Amino acid sequence: MTSSFTRLLVMVQKELLELVRSLKLLWVPLVFVLLGVMQPASMYYMPLILEKAGNITEGAVIEIPQPLGSEVLAQTLQQFGTLGLLVLVLVGMSSVSGERNSGAASLILVKPIAVFSFTASKWTALLLLAWGSLSAGYLASWYYTGLLFGDVQASKVLGSLLVFGLWLSFAMTLTLFFSTLLRSSAAAAFSTLGTAAALSLLAGLLPKKLGWLPGSLSSFAYQTAVSDIANVSLFGWALACTFTLMAAALTGASWLLRRSSAID
């Protein structure tokens, strides 16, 4: 057990080193910070932006109700759920397929490295990148939201961060699974984004019947930021479903890699 755990730690260190060398550990959090800062800034200066646009009738007065700080943070999470998710999926789409196509997976797996350690190390690195980027961007948004709109309770920020972080974790797990299943990195990215969009759409269209799907986690995160979760029972089922599917996807990725030609 100790030997297996040590090998897993070594593999995680390898994955993190690759993120550092490729500068992904730098620019991905910077993208999230930029998205997090832009949301409160753009909402605060929106009346001025519209006034300077030049298409407003002379003498017209623009009055836009100032949103609450919690509403600004909810809008920030929506930005993370679109552009932020896209960036993370593009970063992780070749995590396994790229090494299989280059032959690096064969070189690693002929050594005394278990297939599960190989996939688990990549999964851990992707989650660390996702959580680190989300935390940096969300905390930056919280800071500027407090300056421009007013303070938001730390409990709401932490709660919405944890719920939305779980949604990103699920998306990263899907990315790893499809990157193992498919040889094409582009196909893996398309499959991940398509599945995530479908789950979110189904949970949004039928919240009472399909609110237990992982796609509802983003809406639960918005609710946590603005007020409180309306249906706690449904939220509990969504958590259980998400963790179950994540475990199944991670196990399935290891099983697929074990049966693939990468280790023949």
The answer on pLDDT for 84 being more than 50 is: yes
Q: What is the pLDDT of residue 65?
A: 73
CB distance 101 to 43 below 8 Å: no
Helix axes 85-92, 185-205, angle to 10 degrees: 150
pTM of structure: 0.90
Q: Which of 260, 263, 130, 121 is nearest to 192 (CA)?
A: 130
Q: What is the pLDDT of residue 38?
A: 92
CB distance 79 to 222 below 8 Å: no
| DSSP codes, 64-112 | -PPPPHHHHHHHHHHHIIIIIHHHHHHHHTTTTHHHHHHTHHHHHHTSS
Provide, rounded to the nearest whole percent, the portion of the chain with pLDDT above 90: 57
CB distance 33 to 136 below 8 Å: yes
Q: What is the pLDDT of residue 222?
A: 93
Residues whose CB falls within 8 Å of the CB of residue 73, separated by 6 or more in sequence, listed in order: 138, 141, 142, 145, 152, 156, 157, 160, 225
| DSSP codes, 130-152 | HHHHHHHHHHHHHHHHHHHT---
Distance separating alpha carbons of residues 141 and 143, to the nearest angstrom: 5
| DSSP codes, 174-193 | HHHHHHHH-S-HHHHHHHHH
Report in angstroms the alpha-carbon separations of 25 from 32, 88, 136, 210.
Answer: 12, 11, 12, 35
Q: Which of 5, 253, 255, 251 is nearest to 113 (CA)?
A: 5
| DSSP codes, 150-162 | ----HHHHHHHHH
Q: What is the pLDDT of residue 227?
A: 85
Digit-coded pLDDT (tens) for 196-250: 999 999 998 888 888 899 999 999 999 999 988 888 999 999 999 999 999 999 9
The answer on pLDDT for 143 being more than 50 is: yes
- Per-residue pLDDT band for 140 (boundaries 50, 70, 90) equals very high
The answer on pLDDT for 264 being more than 70 is: no
Digit-coded pLDDT (tens) for 22-51: 899 999 999 999 999 999 988 887 777 666
- Per-residue pLDDT band for 263 (boundaries 50, 70, 90) equals very low
Average pLDDT of span 151-173: 95
List the chain domain ranges: 2-263
Q: What is the pLDDT of residue 48?
A: 72
